[in-house]
Homo-oligomer: A and B are copies of this chain.
Amino acid sequence: MDKKDLILGRLRGLGNGIIDDVERHTVPAIKVPSRGTSNIVYDDAKRYYVLGDRYGKRSLGNVKQIKKVAQMVSTANFCKGLVETQKTATIREMYYVSEGWDVDFGDQQESNLIGEDLEVTLGVTREDLGLMPEEDGAAVYGDLTVKDDDVEVNALKSGKSGYSISPTIDDVEFLDHGVERVIAVETMGMFHRMVQEEAYKKFNCLIVGLKGQAARATRRFLKRTNEELGLPVYICNDGDPWGFHIAMVIISGSAKLAHVNHELATPNAKFLGVTASDIVNYDLPTDKLKDIDVLRLKELYKDPRYHEDFWKLEIKKMLKIGKKAEQQSFSKYGLEYVVEKYLPEKLDAMES
Contacts and interface: CB of A to CB of B under 8 A. Distances in A.
A335 B87 contact: yes
Interface string A296-336: 00000000000000000000000000000010111111110
A39 interface: no
Given A90-B192, A172-B159, A335-B87, A285 B96 contact: yes
A187 B134 contact: yes
Contacts of A333: 100
A90 B168 contact: no
Interface residues of A, number: 52
A164 B139 contact: yes
Interface in A124-167: 132, 134-136, 139, 146, 148-149, 151-153, 156-167
A165 B161 contact: yes
A99 B161 contact: no
A153 B164 contact: no
A157 B166 CA distance: 14
How many copies of the polypeptide does the oligomer hold?
A: 2
A148 B164 contact: no
Contact of A164 (B89, B164, B285, B334): B164
Nearest to A284: B96
A92 interface: yes
A333 B99 CA distance: 9
Given A96-B331, A152-B157, 13 more contacts: A89-B331, A90-B192, A93-B189, A100-B333, A132-B192, A134-B189, A148-B160, A149-B160, A151-B158, A153-B159, A159-B163, A159-B166, A160-B168
